[in-house]
Structure 1
Amino acid sequence: MQPHFPLAAVVAADDLKLALCLAAIDPAIGGVLIEGPRGMAKSTLARGVADLLDGGRFVTLPLGASEERIVGTLDLDAALGEGRARFSPGILANADGGVLYVDEVNLLPDHLVDLLLDVAASGVNHVERDGLSHSHPARFVLIGTMNPEEGELRPQLLDRFGLKVELGGTPAPAERAEIVRRRLAFDADPQAFLGHWQAERDALRQRCAQARQRLPGIPLDDAALQAIAERCYAAGVDGLRADLVWLRGARAHAAWRGAERIEKEDIDALEPFALAHRRRHAPPPPAQPHAPQAPAANQPEQGTQNEGQWGELPPRAVPAGAARELPRWPKKP
Structure 2
Amino acid sequence: MKSTVLLFAFVCSISFAFAQSISLDPNSLQLPRVANNPACAVADKGKLIYNTTQNKVLFCNGSVWVDPTSGGAGTSTNWINSGNNVILPNGKVGIGTGNDSPTATLDVNGNVRVRGNFPTKGSTLVSSDADGTLKWQKPYAFRIEGLEGEANMTVDKNQTVQLLFTFPAYNIGLMYSVNSGKFTAPVKGIYHISTHVASYRKGQSPGSGRAPHVRLIRGKRNGEVFNTYLQYSTFHLDTMDGSDLFGPAVHHTITGDFMLEPGDTVWVEVDAELWPQLIDGAKDQISFCGRLVLQIF
Question: Do both proteins adopt the same fold according to a TM-score greater than 0.5, normalized to the shorter chain?
Answer: no
Q: Tell me: higher relative CO, structure 1 or 2? Use CA pairs within 8 A at least 6 residues apart.
A: 1
Higher strand content, 1 or 2 = 2
With the length of structure 1 as denominator, give the TM-score of the two structures.
0.17
Larger Rg: 2
